[in-house]
Amino acid sequence: MISNMKNKADISTMGTPSTRIDEKKALAEKTLAAMTLAEKADKFRCYQKSVQSPDHEVGFFEQAFRDVFQRKPYSLREDFCGTFAVCCKWVKSDSERTALGVDLCSETLEWGKANNLVKLSESQKKRLRLLEQDVRKKNRPQVDVLAAQNFSFWIFKTRSEVVDYFKMARANIKSDGIMVMDMMGGGDCQIEGHVDKRVVKKGKRGFRYYWKQESYNPINHDASFSISFKFKDGSWIKRAFEYHWRFWSVVEVREMLAEAGFKESHVYWETEDENGEDTGEFERRDSVPSAPCWISYIVAVR
């Protein structure tokens, strides 16, 4: 019975050999010129171009570690590493630096191997390790800096899940080490349908990035977000990435870090220049004025 059902599933999802050949032929007939820009685009490449700033992340990890220990950090663990662009930047930034990237999605890791890892020198590749696993696992050696970027731990929706993850993260950090995570907030993040759009690349091959607040439940803080890309010819990759998270606040996260055993935590807020423009630089703050939309870092000391 079970094997019959499996065969049925195979036929329905994969097609018979002749239909597969027809499909391949039809695809081959569709020339590159006839494809829309969205069809030609690679969603991971668009993501990296629009969302990630590995240079900035590596610079910030160093600043935050120096603020606590007055020396340079050498080992990094990037939890929820995705295509591990930050790990790659880390091993490139110093010939003694090592990085460990952890993510449970094989498709994403494979993309990173084919597109990011290949650009590293042999020496840099040797200092980068990847693990396809849940972040809630103990691995050795412990590291100076553990990073969980792009709000990824918001996937854990209950207090006990987050505290368990923080305990494990703490166990993966050296006794003189830090954990870094980014946070977002502000009233705009609670407006269903709110969209933040940006031109990422100009010119013929340019595209726009759309970050949409799909839903926000004020009772339990369940929040869904999506990333879409729109291209010059009007074509879209709609909802290329979707996230279903709990919207955690800075104060809750700091309380959970303390509960997990972290000695102290600090909030880094973006500074403004004399015209009120964001500088891209972050400094420790205890009190800040409210803003409609902000991104900050929390740095926890083991």
Ligand X SMILES: C[S@@+](CC[C@H](N)C(=O)[O-])C[C@H]1O[C@@H](n2cnc3c(N)ncnc32)[C@H](O)[C@@H]1O
Q: Closer CB to ligand X, residue 35 or residue 114?
A: 114
Q: Closer CB to ligand X, residue 135 or residue 223?
A: 135
Cβ 109 to ligand X shortest distance, Å: 8
Cβ 56 to ligand X shortest distance, Å: 11
Q: Is 294:285 a contact under the CB 8 Å cutoff?
A: no
Structure tokens at 7: 């065969």
Cβ 35 to ligand X shortest distance, Å: 27
Q: Is 262:63 a contact under the CB 8 Å cutoff?
A: no
Q: Is 286:179 a contact under the CB 8 Å cutoff?
A: no
Residues with Cβ within 8 Å of 166's Cβ and at least 6 positions away in sequence, in order, are: 179, 256, 257, 259, 260, 262, 300
Among 134, 192, 278, 283, binds ligand X (CB under 6 A): 134
228 part of the interface to ligand X, by CB under 6 A: no
52 part of the interface to ligand X, by CB under 6 A: yes
Structure tokens at 59: 């610079």
226 part of the interface to ligand X, by CB under 6 A: no
Cα–Cα distance list, 63 to 42, 82, 152 (Å) = 33, 23, 22
- Give phi and psi for 282, each to the nearest 5: -120, 140
**For residue 79, what is the enclosing H or E element?**
strand 75-79
Cβ 122 to ligand X shortest distance, Å: 25
Residue nearest to ligand X (CB): 82
Among 98, 116, 142, 150, binds ligand X (CB under 6 A): 150
Q: Which stretch binds ligand X (CB under 6 A): 120-128, 146-154, 271-279, 286-294?
A: 146-154
53 part of the interface to ligand X, by CB under 6 A: no
Separation between Cα atoms, residue 135 and residue 301, nearest integer Å: 19
Residues 100-129 that bind ligand X (CB under 6 A): 102-105, 108
Q: Which stretch binds ligand X (CB under 6 A): 24-32, 34-42, 144-152, 252-260?
A: 144-152
Residues 73-92 that bind ligand X (CB under 6 A): 80-82
Separation between Cα atoms, residue 300 and residue 170, nearest integer Å: 9
The footprint of ligand X (CB under 6 A) covers 51-52, 80-82, 102-105, 108, 134-135, 149-150, 152, 155
